[in-house]
Structure 1
C-alpha cells in the first residue's frame, strides 16, 4: 500500500479520485490549499503527492519546491486541465517527477503514482470533444472574471456577443456523439 497526498481545490474531483485510488489499495489524505497541503506533507511524510496546477489563487508550480523540501523522497505528480509544454518543463525543473494532462483516467493516475511509464494512447482512449474543451475554458474564464461576460470575452480574446452565443449553447457530451 502506498501512502499519498492529493491536492486539488475541486472538492468533488478530490473525493472521487480519493475513492478510486483507495479501491486500488492506496492510502490517501487530501488537501485543498497550499498551506494545508504543506502541513499534511510535513506531518505525514507521504510516498507520493498528486498536485493540481491551479488551486484557486495559488499555483501548484509554486508548491513543488516546498513539498519537495517537506518530503524529499515523495514522488510528485502535477496534474492539470491546462497542459502545455512550458508548464510541463517548469514543473520538472522545480522538482516534479511526472506531469499529467486532464482528462486522465484513475488507472493512468494510479500507474503514474507507482512510477510506471504511461504511453500517450493509454491515457484516455476517447479524446474529449473540442466543443467540451472550449466550454470548460469559457467556464474557467467566467469564474476568473466573477461572471462578467464582457471581461471574460476580453480575457478570451473574442467579441462579447460571440461569447454570449457560446454561453447560450451547451456542448454535446462525448457519450452523445457517434
Structure 2
C-alpha cells in the first residue's frame, strides 16, 4: 500500500465516478474498488445528480463533458449537499479557463484523460495546502494545440468554417490539421 492509499483508510471512502466512456468508467471503478473505495457510477449528468441526491459521497471523479451536459453541474450539486466532499474533474480537453472554473465550483484538481487510479487517488487525497506534482509524461505542445483545436471544433458543432474563423486560421489549414492523427 502506498502513502496515498493509507491516507484515506479511516475516512468515509464513498466515491462517485461520472463518465460516459463506459469502458473507462468500469476500469476506473474496478481499480478504485480494489483500493478500498465504495464506488457508485453514473454515465450522465442526470444520473450523477440523482446519485448525489441519494447519497452524497465523500469523493467524486467527474468527466467534464458528458452527453447530456457539463460535469461541473454534478460538482456544484455535490458541494451543496456535502461541502467537505473532495472532487476532481477529468477531461480530454486541457483548458486553463475550464480548470479555473472547476476549482471555483469546488473541484480540488483537474486531470487530463486518461488518468489512472493512482493519479486519481493522489489528486483526491492530496493535502489542500500542497502543490500538485508535475506530470511525469505531460502532453507535448503539439498535442495541446491539437486538443484545443478539437475542443473548439466540437464546440462549433463540427463546423469547419466557424471553427477556422474563431481560431483565426485559414479553413484549408484547419481541414489539413483535422484530417491528421493526433500527435503524441
TM-score by length of 1: 0.75
Q: CA deviation at 1:29?
A: 1.7
TM-score by length of 2: 0.73
Q: How does 1:148-167 map to 2 (within 5 A)?
A: 148-167=159-178
Q: Tell which deviates more after alignment, 11-20 or 27-36.
A: 11-20
- 1:93-127 residue CA offsets vs partner (Å, 9 max, x unmatched): 3333x122315443121122224456332xx3122
Question: Is the contact between residue 112 and residue 118 of structure 1 (CA under 8 Å) also seen in structure 2?
Answer: no
The change in CA–CA distance for 1:156 and 1:37 in structure 2 (over 3 A counts) is same
Question: Is the contact between residue 44 and residue 68 of structure 2 (CA under 8 Å) also seen in structure 1?
Answer: no
Structure 1 segments unaligned to the other structure (5+ residues):
174-178
Of the three residues 125, 128, 133, the one matched with 1:120 is 133
Of the three residues 51, 75, 79, the one matched with 1:64 is 75
Q: CA deviation at 1:57?
A: 5.4
Q: Tell which deviates more after alignment, 60-69 or 33-42.
A: 60-69
- The residue matched to 1:126 in structure 2 has which SS? coil
Answering whether residue 74 of structure 2 is matched by residue 34 of structure 1, we say no
Answering whether residue 60 of structure 2 is matched by residue 49 of structure 1, we say yes
Answering whether residue 112 of structure 2 is matched by residue 102 of structure 1, we say yes
Question: Is the contact between residue 102 and residue 110 of structure 2 (CA under 8 Å) also seen in structure 1?
Answer: no
The change in CA–CA distance for 1:147 and 1:21 in structure 2 (over 3 A counts) is same
The change in CA–CA distance for 1:161 and 1:56 in structure 2 (over 3 A counts) is same
> What corresponds to 1:176 in structure 2?
none
Structure 2 segments unaligned to the other structure (5+ residues):
1-8
**Count of paired positions:** 169
